[in-house]
Amino acid sequence: MEYDDGEEPSFSDPEDFVDDSDQELLGDVLRDKPQEADGIDSVVVVDNVPQVGPERLEKLKNVIQKIFSKFGKITNDFYPIADGKTKGPVLLAKEKKNVVIVWEAPEKQPFKDFGNLRHWLEDPDCRDQYSVIYDSGERTGIFANDVKEPIEVEERARWTETYVRWSPKGTYLATFHQRGIALWGGEKFKQIQRFSHQGVQLIDFSPCERYVVTFSPLMDTKDDPQAIIIWDVLTGQKKRGFHCESSAHWPIFKWSPDGKFFARMTQDTLSIYETPSMGLLDKKSLRINGIKDFSWSPGDNIIAFWVPEDKDIPARVTLMQLPSRNEIRVRNLFNVVDCKLHWQKNGDYLCVKVDRTPKGTQGVVTNFEIFRMREKQVPVDVVEMKESIIAFAWEPNGSKFAVLHGESPRINVSFYHVKNNGKIDLIKMFDKQQANSIFWSPQGQFLVLAGLRSMNGALAFVDTSDCTMMNIAEHYMASDVEWDPTGRYVVTSVSWWSHKVDNAFWLWTFQGRLLQKTNKERFCQLLWRPRPPSLLTQEQIKLIKKDLKKYSKIFEQKDRLSQSKASKELVDKRRSMMEDYRKYRERTFDMYNEQKPLRLELRGGVDTDELDSNVDDWEEETIEFFINEEIIPIGDL
């Protein structure tokens, strides 16, 4: 098979794990390949060669020669022998400038049972899990979120060398190592898969968790792109490697929500690939001159991208349907300085934040162009903002968005509602906010405004159904805010990576009531384990909401029992601690009494065991206390 620029073959590189558990990557083999010598222009490596003993070797050689001389003159060959039989790939040197690696088919691997990968979802108390890295990265723990206090599920030293990531549906925990990535899961967090990518720095998952993408700056060579590798999670196979100029905007490859496509942008080009073939859609990239940014709708196979002004042609935002590549909407924009794309979580709306310098002015103003994706022909409404924008965030599952605008110290937050009647209403604005970030609950309606890092951890908990501030609080020097996947809890934390003292994470309810403070020595990072989408239909969810009162009673009773149990546990614990302490004091008291003669002797017979043991020695002393000072003028003299 040949590999020319411009033509993308869809080959699957077979996997192989030779001899021991070390999964050597193709890259390692490439490094070991024989150097090109004078007169020999290339090497062909042939796989699936039947293992033959010495008596049939000659015949094998003839067959191979016959087949491969079709591709070019064979100048040399090498048949590796082990244990008297041919083993491993056969190397042929021939006169053509190509290299192909084909590998021996492996033996069938025994089925590895990792148990129930969704085990954590079956917790009877519906506790969500979260990962915690602390001890400046030396220790990683998995905890179950219990209202009383975190329950440690698993904890390992040096589990990861840098940080961890959960897969999008929470099935896997990915850890980073010098040699690559490891995936862990199941009840006991066994190692499920390993991907060998020396010096890996970044990782991304496809939304369906079928594929994982890794980046390492070390591995790239001109002939064999290895900077970015896409892997099949279940088989562990390397599916395809890519070059990477800069990892500054990770992920480089963006996935369609159904995992059928992934795309990346390079100079004037948008390349869209299909899975599982890993080949370019329609075998070619799209040329889009000047393309500055793109992103997938999180709900549909639609890509939004924008290009800046080009001479007389205005800047524009385009919505393109895949795989048809139909442009379902184009929006022209004038005097554009910059654009940012913000999709609502379900893909119901797209907000394009447009920074413009209107003609005749020098300042920059911002508009929000709101695309209503679910309506015919995708109408666009514009919201003009008078101040500079600090943060923007859509309500997940909803049709509201929140904006932080203004400049410190006058920062304001505005809440907008995108209504069905074509209007976008400003519901409410609060001024004088200490905030630089917006964190919506994943279920919508509630959000936290946070002033992270330099704003010292100011927090405001808002209910956007009526835009009220439920609570104003503070977690001094907080560096991160993380909602749990159910939207019931919020964690604020002070990471050792950003602040060297007071490293801890605090648990709050969605209403802003502080529940727990957990200090962890050199705490670095907390990540909630995501949940897979609910299996219930919308109708089923509606039914449950209707009967919520009935369910509430049962849960409340359970909570009360659990709380009184906790109180009882605490009371019992205290009782036993007091008892131990009392016993200890009794023991020391006995010894103390025995030593009294010694004490008397050391102090010349003076008994100082009690403060009032020597009343006769006391002197009476009168002490003045300063009560008050009053200046009384004696009238005019």
Using the minimum distance from each CB to other proteins, give the nearer residue, 93 or 526.
526
Q: How many CB atoms lie within 10 A of CB 604?
A: 6
β-sheet with 202-205: strand ranges across: 202-205, 211-215, 228-232, 238-242
Name 511's bridge partners: none
For residue 586, the minimal CB distance to other proteins (Å) is 12
Using the minimum distance from each CB to other proteins, give the nearer residue, 211 or 506.
506
Rg of the chain on CA atoms, in Å: 34
- Measured CA to CA, the distance from residue 566 to residue 368 in angstroms comes to 51
For residue 521, the minimal CB distance to other proteins (Å) is 8
Residue type at position 456 = N
- Measured CA to CA, the distance from residue 230 to residue 276 in angstroms comes to 11
Burial tier of 255 (Cβ tally within 10 Å: 0-12, 13-18, 19+)? buried
Using the minimum distance from each CB to other proteins, give the nearer residue, 313 or 602.
602
The structure tokens listed for 514 are: 């502080």
Using the minimum distance from each CB to other proteins, give the nearer residue, 31 or 574.
574
Using the minimum distance from each CB to other proteins, give the nearer residue, 191 or 593.
593
The structure tokens listed for 330 are: 């184009």
In the complex, the residues that contact other proteins under the rule CB under 8 A are 476-477, 499, 501-502, 504, 519, 571, 574-575, 577-578, 580-582, 584, 588, 591-592, 595, 598-599, 602-603, 608-609, 611, 623-626
For residue 580, the minimal CB distance to other proteins (Å) is 8
Specify the pairing of strand 468-474 against strand 458-463.
Answer: antiparallel
DSSP 182: E
Using the minimum distance from each CB to other proteins, give the nearer residue, 1 or 591.
591
- Measured CA to CA, the distance from residue 26 to residue 546 in angstroms comes to 57
For residue 598, the minimal CB distance to other proteins (Å) is 6
For residue 476, the minimal CB distance to other proteins (Å) is 6
- Measured CA to CA, the distance from residue 514 to residue 478 in angstroms comes to 14
Instruction: State yes or no: cis peptide before 633, omega within 30 of 0.
Output: no
For residue 492, the minimal CB distance to other proteins (Å) is 15
For residue 501, the minimal CB distance to other proteins (Å) is 6
- Measured CA to CA, the distance from residue 190 to residue 154 in angstroms comes to 11
Using the minimum distance from each CB to other proteins, give the nearer residue, 59 or 574.
574
- Measured CA to CA, the distance from residue 534 to residue 551 in angstroms comes to 18
CB 48 within 8 A of CB 104: yes
CB 436 within 8 A of CB 427: no
For residue 135, the minimal CB distance to other proteins (Å) is 12
For residue 608, the minimal CB distance to other proteins (Å) is 6
Using the minimum distance from each CB to other proteins, give the nearer residue, 90 or 478.
478
Using the minimum distance from each CB to other proteins, give the nearer residue, 111 or 626.
626
